[in-house]
Amino acid sequence: QVQLVESGGELVQAGGSLRLSCTASGLTFSNYAMGWFRQAPGKGRDFVAGINLSGQNTAYADSVKGRFTISRDNAKNTVYLQMNSLKAEDTAVYSCAARSRYIDEVGTRREQYVYWGQGTQVTVAS
């Protein structure tokens, strides 16, 4: 079955950087557009960044533009989220997700994604 496993979340000081990874199994990774979402305590799950099949097209939430970068390595079945200049408001559980097979478009809405990872906690101390 499809599995998405995130890693890289930890406690970091404001202004610091982290790189999250999400490794997929049970699917042909290069056939799936991918995304990152986050959920802060008491809030809904929000779109953070998305990437198409080849990695050439990306999209970001306004709140992270210029600070976060999504990328993928299809040979390693992994999508990354590089997070720089972290702020306290970036504290959340970060989850990766995959769209349906062969959809070569960046998705920005939760309902566009069909597979989800369990998430990794990112805590930014101010």
List of residues 6+ apart from 110 with CB closer than 8 A? 37, 45, 47, 97
Average confidence score pLDDT of the chain: 97
Per-residue pLDDT, 124: 98
Q: Are 29 and 74 in contact (CB under 8 A)?
A: yes
Q: What's the token pair of residue 114?
A: 């069909």
Per-residue pLDDT, 121: 98
pLDDT in tens, 64-109: 999 999 999 999 999 999 999 999 999 999 999 999 999 999 999 9
List of residues 6+ apart from 42 with CB closer than 8 A? none
Mean pLDDT, residues 6-12 taken together: 98
- Rounded Cα gap, residues 59 and 69, in angstroms: 9
- Rounded Cα gap, residues 48 and 61, in angstroms: 5
Per-residue pLDDT, 12: 98
CA dihedral 56, 108, 10, 79 (to 10 degrees): -30
